[in-house]
Structure 1
Amino acid sequence: MTTLDADQLLGAVRAFAQGPLAAQVEAIDRQGYYPKAELGELARLGAISAHLDAPHGGSDFGLAIRAMAEVSRVCGATGFMVWCHAVCGLYLQQSGNPALSGERLQRHVGGLGLGGTALSNPMKSYAQIETLLLKAQPVEGGYLVNGNLPWVSNLDQDHYCGAIAAVTDGEQALGREVMFLLDCSDPGVELHECPSFAGMEGTGTYALRLKDYFVGADRLMADPAKPFIARIRAAFVMLQCGMAVGVIQGAIDSMWAVEPQLGHVNQFLDERPDALQAELDELTARVMKLAETPFNSSNEFFLDVLDARAQGAELALRAAQSALLHQGARGYLMSSAVQRRVRESHFVAIVTPAIKHLRKEMARLSQQETPA
């Protein structure tokens, strides 16, 4: 992995995103091209690991978010996969399990292994939106896990992800969950193709089916899982803000791109690029402040993180629609970057935690209920 200071890293990521990555955006969005080589290069540059504690320096969540934003500014799908890989690295490091936080983590940091996160269903479960779909039966030396997950991203046959299962004794729940690393190449794991999406087809998204999947001590991230989730929940959500910031900036870029030709009529639109940029700059500053203390476990801090994440999703929707209106008919072409960003903004708004999930959790925290 290349060692660069913050400005050098961001400059290198920007150049790569606007060059080699930009050349693949259409294939990633519509043709299902999975950018494995591109993700490996971003890892080599350090774009996917700035938030992780380094042997000779501390973590920088703000830098990780800004790097993710540079990627998402060009390709929201790749920005999302950067988040998947980044948050999987967070699980590995925070697990405290030497089998996961040593050589395995170093391979992950260097992009020699690529990982995702299967925590959409558990996060919805903790918010009382869904029930847990994976069940873990205690056996000698670990657990046997069974169940199906419909949507897990940044996967392939040689990839891995963090997952959570409810611990059971037969059909009886034992009142706790276990978090573990799931290797897609292991026995008992099946990947199944998902139906075609509206966009972002190249995100390596599969349905996962587990049949008597064995989890030993070398795969355990947390047992029980809830204290671990309580510790990382703010960091998990906060990192996603990099996706939102990048998609918003890309939309604003598209608005400015047509200003010389269409500014004389676009001036009559309600949302103008300078006003949206001011909102984005304010949001970015807010996120950078939150990123200074990513492991603050207070409900008040988590409420601020959820609110910033919701603000990012809502601003992404507004900015993408405004970019479409500014570009007019040229923005309605399927090949248009604006048309792609409209779909990307919808994804920012519905990916876990979706806007409705965020608002539900914010309402609960505002009422000072006991955390899930």
Structure 2
Amino acid sequence: MSLETLIENELDPYLIEIDTSTHYPKNFIQTLFKEGYFKDNDINNNVKVIETVSKSCLTTGFCLWCQLAFSTYLKHANQPHLNHGLQQLLLTGEIFGATGLSNPMKSFNDLESFNLTHHYQDGQFYVNGKLPAVSNIGSDHYFGAISKSDDDDELVMFIVRANQNGITLDEKSNFLGVNGSATFGVEMSEVLIPEDQIITHDAKTFASAIRPQFVALQIPIALGSVRASLDLIHKFSNAQNGINQFLEYDVEAYETRYTQIRDEFYTLIEQQDLDNQFGALIKLKKAIGYLLLEVNQASMVNGGSRAYSPKAPQARKLKEGFFFAALTPTLRHLGKLEAELTETNVTTSN
């Protein structure tokens, strides 16, 4: 079955239920992995799948990103039982994974403090704290996390399963644009993390290594959503005897910007050198994020009264754009990262 047919049959009928948080498309997500739509070491293929799914539903594309972000943690781990064993279970749909790194990614840029802390007792590793929102998670799902030592500056990255002793989940179902993504607050109270679940005791270096792919996998989420909103604009361009021609939105300029960003993105992906392209990826995510907000707003106005129904695709896409703007690294976080990279480059050149 083609990806487009699978989306039409197994995802599109549930779009309204996803938006209203009464449906998490777990079966659809699992089917994509079980049927081999995602491939190990083939980011070109994987981002195209995310883009195609996100054209229909950004929330589901985001959940796929969560899966692949977790896969990135496993891939970069040194332990064979993680980078081969657990990785294969994830890629074949046997297990689900979530990211859990929103807070640490912000903390590394001094935007937040680390929410999780750890200590050692009798040689064992225990974690405490709260993560306000982790998506694509369920009681048996895995997620990655980073904790800071109670006693020093040690930062440890580990994976954990949500049904381990000491973990409590609190469902979040009232966030704009993120409903249907299985988002939960996670509280950890004296959670014992076995040694075989610890990825590294140098989490900052590890996070720096994975962040280019972390961001690269987010960009197709917005690419798909932008394409969907542009298509909606064209679909209703002749509404009410062509009244939309008097709107001052430059749709052709949107199309040009979209094509340019998409072409630049896939050129980077095909070079297979993401480790040295973090600055370029930051700029691309920022550009597509702002374009998504603009195009979704134009689509709402272009759609007329029909677009203002809570169940209208234009209204759903509008919320999707707001959510993407808040996806770590957020638009404002991207701006800070871009400024820091620019300052570093200037200092280096001098």
Q: What is the TM-score normalised by the length of structure 2?
A: 0.94
Q: Is 1:351 aligned with 2:327?
A: yes
Match of 1:6 in 2: none
Find the residue that maps to 2:174 and give its secondary structure: coil
1:182-209 per-residue CA deviation (whole Å, 9 max, x = no partner) reads 1001111110122512233111101101
Contact 2:118 2:147 in 1 (8 A): yes
Residue 144 (structure 2) aligns with:
162
State yes or no: 1:217 paired with 2:195.
yes
Per-residue CA shift, 1:323-356, capped at 9, x if unaligned?
A: 1111111111111001000000001111111100
1:182 to 160, 178, 189: 160
The aligned amino acid for 1:35 is P
Q: Does 1:34 align with 2:16?
A: no
Residue 16 of structure 1 pairs with residue 6 of structure 2: yes
Tell me the SS of whatever aligns to 1:96: coil
- 3-state SS of 1:144 partner: strand
Superposition map of 1:34-73 within 5 A: 34-47=24-37, 49-50=38-39, 52=40, 59-73=41-55
User: Given the alignment, which residue of 103, 125, 150 partners 1:121?
Assistant: 103
2:186 is the alignment partner of 1:208: yes
User: Structure 2 vs 1, CA of residues 286 and 120 (structure 1 numbering), >3 Å: closer, same or farther?
Assistant: same
In the alignment, the residues of structure 1 paired with residue 222 and residue 137 of structure 2 have an alpha-carbon distance, to the nearest angstrom, of 22
CA drift at 1:127:
0.9
Pairwise mapping of residues 194-205 of structure 1 onto structure 2 (< 5 A)?
Answer: 194=172, 196-205=174-183
Task: Tell me the distance in 2 between the aligned counterparts of 1:157 and 1:125.
Answer: 26
Asked whether 1:307 is paired with 2:283, we answer yes
Which of 220-229 and 330-339 deviates more? 220-229
Amino acid at match of 1:120: S
Match of 1:56 in 2: none
Amino acid at match of 1:254: L
Q: Distance in 2 between matches of 1:354 and 1:76?
A: 16
Counterpart Cα distance in 1 of 2:260 and 2:287: 11
Deviation, 1:260, is: 4.1
Uncovered stretches (5+) of structure 1, i.e. residues with no partner: 1-10, 53-58
The whole-number CA distance in structure 1 between the counterparts of 2:240 and 2:52 is: 26
Q: Deviations over 1:79-134 (max 9, x none)?
A: 11010011101111111212212222111101111111100000000011000010
1:93 maps to 2:93: no
- Count the aligned residue pairs: 347
Q: Please say if residues 173 and 183 of structure 2, whose CA atoms lie closer than 8 Å, have aligned partners that are also in contact.
A: no
Corresponding letter in the other structure for 2:217: L
**SS class of match (2:179):** coil
Q: Per-residue CA shift, 1:3-52, capped at 9, x if unaligned?
A: xxxxxxxx8222222332010111011133111101111212334x33x3
Q: Is the 8 A contact 2:237 2:245 kept in 1?
A: no
Distance 1:296 1:247, change over 3 A: closer
Tell me the C-alpha RMSD between the 2 structures: 2.0
Contact kept, 8 Å, 2:21 with 2:173, in 1: the verdict is: no
What letter matches 2:92 in structure 1?
Answer: G
AA partner of residue 245 (structure 2)? Q
**Which residue pairs with 1:289 in the alignment?**
267
Q: 1:222 to 1:291 in 2, by over 3 A?
A: farther
Deviates more, 1:257-266 or 1:329-338: 257-266
Q: TM-score, normalised by structure 1?
A: 0.88
Alignment-derived partner of residue 339 in structure 2:
363
SS of the residue corresponding to residue 104 of structure 2 reads helix
AA aligned to 2:77 is S
Q: Deviations over 1:51-93 (max 9, x none)?
A: x3xxxxxx22222111101111111110110100111011111
2 CA distance for matches of 1:262 and 1:143? 66
Equivalent residue of 2:226, what SS? helix
Note closer, same or farther for the CA distance 1:103–1:251 as it changes in structure 2 (3 Å cut). Answer: same
What are the Cα deviations for residues 273-326 of structure 1, in whole angstroms up to 9, with x where unaligned? 44322221111111112223565444xx21111110101110110110111111
The letter for the 2-side match of 1:204 is A
What's the counterpart of residue 88 of structure 2?
Answer: 106
1:284 maps to a residue whose letter is: R
Q: Give 3-state SS (helix, strand or coil) of 2:2's partner.
A: helix
The answer on whether the counterparts of 2:78 and 2:199 sit within 8 Å (CA) in structure 1 is yes
Is 1:235 aligned to 2:218, yes or no? no
Q: CA deviation at 1:141?
A: 5.0
- 2:312 paired residue among 336, 346, 361: 336
